[in-house]
Amino acid sequence: MKAVDIAKELIKFDTSGPPTQEQPCAEWIKAYLDDLGFETQLQVVEPGRANIIAKYGVGKGPGLVLSGHIDVVLAGDPELWKISGPFEPVVKDGFLYGRGSCDMKGPDACMIQAAEELLDHDFKKQLTLAFTAGEDTGGWFVDRVISDKLVTPKDASFGVIGEPSMMKIIPAHKGAGGAHVMIHGKAAHSSRPELGINAIQKSADFLLELRGLQKMLNQKQHPLLGPTTVECTIINGGFKENIIPDQSQLALNFRFIPGHEAPETSKKWLIGIIKKLSEKDPDFNAEIIDHRASIPLDVPLDSPVVKILKDILGSEPVGAPYYTEAVSYTKAGIPTVICGPGSIDQAHTPDEYISLEQMEQGVATYKELIKRVCL
C-alpha cells in the first residue's frame, strides 16, 4: 500500500490519550507486516497497550532500525476540527488531515511503504521496524522494547526516529529536567512584617540568583543546541492578603546540553544558590523538595547514520528543542537520529496535517537509507 493509505488506516484507530489504547492499531500493523513476510512480535505492556516490533532478514547481521510511536495526543475540542473529524482521515489539496497525520502515523506509514517496496531484494543486513506505545500519552514504552531486549545492537547498528523534522537530520537534542524548591518563611500579620519572614520576597532573591546561574550557563554553548537553560515556570505562595506568607514553592524547568545531564550537576547549582543566600541572610531558608534530570541526545556528527543521511539529503544536521525516543535507543548502544516528514508545528494542533509531498520525500529517503544499509 501507499504510505498515505496506510496512514489513513492508522489514523482511524483512536490511540489518543490518556487513557490510551494502542493495541488494536499495533495489531493492524502486525497483520500487515506478517503478510509481507516480517517476523513480528506484539509486546503487550499494559492491558490494551502494545508495541509492535517487526524484523526482516533475521540472522543477516545488524542493520537498521526505523522507529516511531503510534499513540497520539488528545483531539481536544471537536468544534475546532474544521476539515474532518480527528479520526476520520481525509486527503484535501495535497494534504492528509487527521490526528497523528504528522505526529506521527504519517511518518510511520512512510517507513512501512519504503520497506515494502524493497522486499523483493536480497537483504544482506537486517531491517527492524518498531512502533511504540506511550510516547506522547504517558508510559514511554520504548524503554520496554529496550529492557526486554526486543531490539538490541545485534539487530541494528543504528536507527532513525521519524518524528516530523521536515526531513532535517537531528542528531542532538537537549535533555529535560526539573526541580521544586520550597522557600520557608514565617507567618505574621501583614501590619507587623518585622515579626515574620516573607517567603515570597525571599523567592525573589532566589530568582535573581537563578538569572546569574543562566548567565554562567550561557558561557558553554553546544554547536547545535546553544546553552543549557533554567526557567522558573510556576510559583506558589501565600494564602491571605493580610498575612506574611510562610511558604513559597518554585517549580524550575531545565533543558540540558550534553555534559550537564548528571543529576548531581544541576542539583549542585541549586544547592550553591541556597548556600550563598543562607550565608548572606540568616532569614533565608530553602530546601530542594525534588529534582530530576534526563539525558540529552548527542549522536556524533561523524557517525555512519549521520553521514549516510547527509549524503542522501544533501543537508547539514541541526539541533531540536524537543525530547524523543532516540535517547532510549542511543543509550542502548544503537546510535539513533531523528529524521521524518512533516513539520512539528502541525503536531498536537486541531486539523493536524502532513503534506503528501513531505510523505513522498519521507518514503524516498527511507527507501534509499534501507538500500544503502541493508541491501
Per CB under 5 A, residues contacting Zn ion are 103-104, 163
* C-beta closer to Zn ion: residue 104 or 110: 104
Give the shortest CB-245-to-Zn ion separation in angstroms: 40
CA distance 220 to 162: 30
In angstroms, the CA 119 to CA 55 distance is 12
Given a contact cutoff of 8 angstroms between Cβ atoms, the answer to whether 250 and 181 are in contact is yes
For the CB of residue 104, give the shortest distance to Zn ion in the complex, in Å: 5
Q: Which is nearer to Zn ion, 131 or 269 (CB)?
A: 131
Strand 95-97 vs strand 90-92: parallel, antiparallel, or unpaired? antiparallel
Give the integer Cα–Cα distance in Å for 374 and 118: 10
Residue type, 2: K
Write down the H helix ranges in 187-232.
Answer: 199-217
Least spacing, CB of residue 221 vs Zn ion, in Å:
27
Cβ proximity to Zn ion: between 103 and 155 the closer is 103
Q: Which is nearer to Zn ion, 55 or 174 (CB)?
A: 174
Q: Which residue number is nearest to Zn ion in terms of Cβ?
A: 103
**244 touches 196 (CB < 8 A):** yes
Whether 9 and 34 have beta carbons less than 8 Å apart is answered as no
Determine which helix (DSSP H) or strand (DSSP E) holds 314, and give its type and residue range: none
**Least distance (Å) from Zn ion to the CB of residue 69?**
6
Residue 347 CB, shortest distance to Zn ion, in Å, is 6
Radius of gyration, alpha carbons of the chain? 24
With respect to Zn ion, which residue has the nearer C-beta, 104 or 334?
Answer: 104
- Write out the three cell numbers for 184: 520557608
Cβ at position 359, least distance to Zn ion in Å: 16
- Residue 148's nearest CA partner among 234, 265, 73, 45 is 45
DSSP state of 114: H
Closer by beta carbon to Zn ion, 108 or else 116: 108
Burial class (CB in 10 A: 0-12, 13-18, 19+), 192: exposed
Q: Which is nearer to Zn ion, 145 or 286 (CB)?
A: 145
Least Å distance, CB 161 to Zn ion, is 9
Tell me whether residue 104 or residue 133 sits nearer to Zn ion (CB atom): 104
The answer to whether 325 touches 139, Cβ cutoff 8 Å, is: no
Q: Please, what is the minimum distance in Å from the beta carbon of residue 341 to Zn ion?
A: 12
